Amino acid sequence: MTAPAVSRRPTRGATRTGGRSRSAARRRTGWWALAFLLPSALPLAAFVIVPMLGAGWISLHEWNLIGSMHWVGLGNYAALLRDPATLAAFGHTLGYLAGYLPLVYGGGLGLALALNTALHGRALLRGVYFLPVVTSWIVVALVWRWLLNPSVGIVNWTLAQLGVQGPGWWTDPAWSMASVVLASAWKDLGFVMVILLAGLQAIPTEVLEAARVDGAGWWRRLWSVVLPLLSPSTFFVVVISLINGFQVFDQVYAMTAGGPNGSSEVVVLRIQQLAFRYGEAGSASALSWLLFAVILAITLVQIRGQRRWVTYA
Amino acid sequence: MPDVATRPAPATTSGSSAPARPRPRITVGRVALHLVVVAGALVMLFPFAWAVVTSISPGSGLTATPSLIPDQPSLSAYVELFTRLPFARVTLNSLGLAVAATLLQMTTGAMAAYAFSRLDFRGRDALFAVYLATMMVPLQVLIVPLFAEMKTFGLIDSYLGALLPTVSTAFAVFLLRQAVNQVPRELDEAATLDGAGHWRIFTRIVLPNIRPALATLAVFAFMQSWNAFLWPLIILRSPQRQTFPVALQALQGQYTTQWDVVMAGSVVSILPMLALYVLAQRYVVQGVASSGLK
């Protein structure tokens, strides 16, 4: 990153001094700006911008992180797009989102609607529902791995008391992703609730009152008034969930490590394995750039779509 | 940590419209609503409770599901964690890194926020856009080249290598710039007339006036560092340098069936965040909700 240069535009509100001293003052401001910005600009340049470009450069090479790099052009990308494991990783990530989003949105909306009424102990309840959000993903994954332990876990024990044979959860390829989804939804429910609660409280009470006067029942008001006016919050939740969902890693690593039989291998896990287990830093970087492209696309959709799909009050 | 708990909470999003409403009648529907929401809260709390119960039930998970009220409660799992296993050291590692990252982000962030809010220099808006753009780059894109970079500097398996990428974040700059913008400019102008320079205005006027935002950032930065997993997992190799989440997850591989020890570790790992959360709930919720980062 280049250092910010001294301003040559006329500085706002600096007309009282003469020309010569004004340019000297501007130069001094430039030095001050440099001094105030360097402590943040240097690390950001060295540990975000340079590595990001570096990832692009590495992605064009074959490299095992130790030896010399061999130029392969777009070969890594071509190989990745042909590799069924890549498609599977994106597929698993989408599967995760397909389970996770309805759970957190449905649950979060229900809770937000409930807590938006004059409920006793509302602050305490909100605090309880939010608690998992501040817990680390590793702890969440470990606790849920224990809850969902197929042989001695409390969930299957409870199911057995009810006469139901519980599934193998994270030991069963058919249930491994469902296990990750359950744990993740539990952690993020409070987060979605807080976002939607803020959205609900921004809805003007006059609008709801008017609908009530017009004879609209609870469901009708929810469907025709609340949900449309809540669309900015909904949109934010969906976009953030997509962006975070494509980056899902910690809980999968700690809960299933991508298994069994790769049934829960998500994109970031594949990047980590390619780079640090198989020594294919080039392919890992190429995959990370593909992931970045997907996330960037979602972000752009957010910026453009906000205007088109969102109803503001 | 700044005086997170001592400031009176301003009216947050909740409760602002409640007092105006007439007291609701007690109906079947309202009672049912309370029951459902409270039952839901108990379900949400159960995994935490179960972790505590398991951690004081020795030999958990070897043969049978522990009972909700342990027959012979024991703290042996905690003793094992801090005597036989290196978790005393691991806790210090994590605390040290989290405190350092928090203080550094507050410092670098506040200084940059001052420059972007108060100094008129060429390319300011463009540079701010570059800062914001770095927020969009996922860490996963950076890990391979970051690892290579740290290798060049000889920082693999060092605390410095773990700390450096967290020294400065665009989120900190963004959050604090909003706060600095709220500080009335008349205050700086008055100070300027009194002969104060930028450094004095920054330390004497701006910093004291953005304390709530600094507290939000502190809570948030601490939480991010304390809970961080991917980068510490990659950069820190030797067991005595590992951070809490990494050591905890490794414990699981080593002692697949010692669930009492794993849960004891989980409980200990939650404690600092729980304390911070109870003290500064408002700042935690704000920080998370305003950024979408967790």
Q: What is the pLDDT of residue B23?
A: 58
Top-confidence residue, B238 or B72: B238
Q: For each of the domains in chain B, give its residue range(s) and CATH number, in order of start.
A: 28-79 (no CATH), 86-254 (1.10.3720.10)
Beta bridge partners of A62: A70
Check whether residue A27 and residue A130 sit in a common domain. no
The backbone torsions φ and ψ at residue A17, rounded to the nearest 5 degrees and listed phi first, read -95, 160
Q: Is residue A45 part of a domain?
A: yes
Q: Is residue A295 part of a domain?
A: yes
Q: Where are the alpha helices (DSSP H) in chain A?
A: 19-44, 50-58, 75-82, 84-115, 122-134, 137-147, 154-161, 176-201, 205-213, 218-221, 227-229, 231-246, 250-255, 267-276, 281-309
**Binary contact (B229, A137; C-beta < 8 A):** yes
Q: Find chain A residues with C-beta within 8 A of B140's C-beta.
A: 247, 249, 268, 271, 288, 291
Check whether residue A277 and residue A193 sit in a common domain. yes
The residue out of A58, A83, A106 marking a domain boundary is A58
Average pLDDT over all residues of chain B: 84
Q: Find chain A residues with C-beta within 8 A of B40's C-beta.
A: 111, 129
A111-140 CB burial, b ≥16 within 10 A, e <16: bbbbbbeebeebeebbbbbbbbbbbbbbbb
Q: What is the pLDDT of residue B230?
A: 92
Check whether residue A256 and residue A144 sit in a common domain. yes
Check whether residue A52 and residue A184 sit in a common domain. no
Top-confidence residue, A308 or B198: B198
Range name among B22-31, B34-43, B271-280 with the lowest pLDDT average: B22-31
Asked if pLDDT for residue B63 goes beyond 80, the answer is no
Asked if pLDDT for residue A312 goes beyond 60, the answer is no
The CA–CA distances, whole Å, from A216 to A114, B30, B40, B114 equal 19, 20, 29, 51
Q: Is residue A264 part of a domain?
A: yes
Q: Give the mean model confidence (pLDDT) for residues B165-185.
A: 92
Check whether residue A91 and residue A33 sit in a common domain. no
pLDDT band at A2 (very low <50, low <70, confident <90, very high): very low
**Binary contact (A1, B130; C-beta < 8 A):** yes
Structure tokens at A287: 């995959």
Asked if pLDDT for residue B188 goes beyond 70, the answer is yes
Count up the domains in chain A and report the number: 2
Q: What is the pLDDT of residue B253?
A: 65
Selecting from B136, B226, B289 the residue whose C-beta is nearest the C-beta of A198 gives B289
The residue out of A28, A58, A88 marking a domain boundary is A58
Range name among A50-64, A80-94, A250-264 with the lowest pLDDT average: A250-264
CATH number for position A133? 1.10.3720.10
Check whether residue A88 and residue A223 sit in a common domain. yes
Q: What is the pLDDT of residue A300?
A: 83
Q: What is the pLDDT of residue B47?
A: 93
Q: What is the pLDDT of residue B61?
A: 60
**Binary contact (B120, A12; C-beta < 8 A):** yes
Check whether residue A219 and residue A299 sit in a common domain. yes
Q: What is the pLDDT of residue B168?
A: 95
Assess B134–A contact: CB distance below 8 Å, yes or no. yes
Check whether residue A128 and residue A176 sit in a common domain. yes
Asked if pLDDT for residue A65 goes beyond 60, the answer is yes
Q: What is the pLDDT of residue A302?
A: 76
SS3 B179: helix
- The reply to whether omega before A260 is within 30° of 0 (cis) is yes
Tell which B residues from 185 to 224 touch A, by Cβ distance under 8 Å.
198, 202, 223
pLDDT band at B2 (very low <50, low <70, confident <90, very high): very low
pLDDT band at B1 (very low <50, low <70, confident <90, very high): very low
Q: What is the pLDDT of residue B59?
A: 72
Cβ pair A289, A175 in contact under 8 A: no
Q: Give the mean model confidence (pLDDT) for residues A211-223.
A: 89
Asked if pLDDT for residue B112 goes beyond 90, the answer is yes
Check whether residue A86 and residue A153 sit in a common domain. yes
What CA–CA distance (Å, rounded) separates B234 from A92?
23
- Percent over 70 (pLDDT), chain A: 91
Q: Is residue A161 part of a domain?
A: yes
Q: What is the pLDDT of residue B66?
A: 76
Q: Is residue A50 part of a domain?
A: yes
Range of the domain at A130: 75-309
Q: Is residue A86 part of a domain?
A: yes
Q: Is residue A148 part of a domain?
A: yes
Q: Is residue A99 part of a domain?
A: yes
Check whether residue A264 and residue A120 sit in a common domain. yes
**Binary contact (A244, B262; C-beta < 8 A):** no
Check whether residue A103 and residue A181 sit in a common domain. yes
Check whether residue A34 and residue A131 sit in a common domain. no
Q: Give the mean model confidence (pLDDT) for residues A184-206.
A: 90
Token pair 């401001």 is found at A29
Q: Find chain B residues with C-beta within 8 A of A47's C-beta.
A: 142, 146, 149, 164-165, 167
pLDDT band at A42 (very low <50, low <70, confident <90, very high): very high
Q: Give the mean model confidence (pLDDT) for residues B32-55.
A: 90
Q: Give the mean model confidence (pLDDT) for residues A178-193.
A: 94
Q: Give the mean model confidence (pLDDT) for residues A288-306.
A: 84
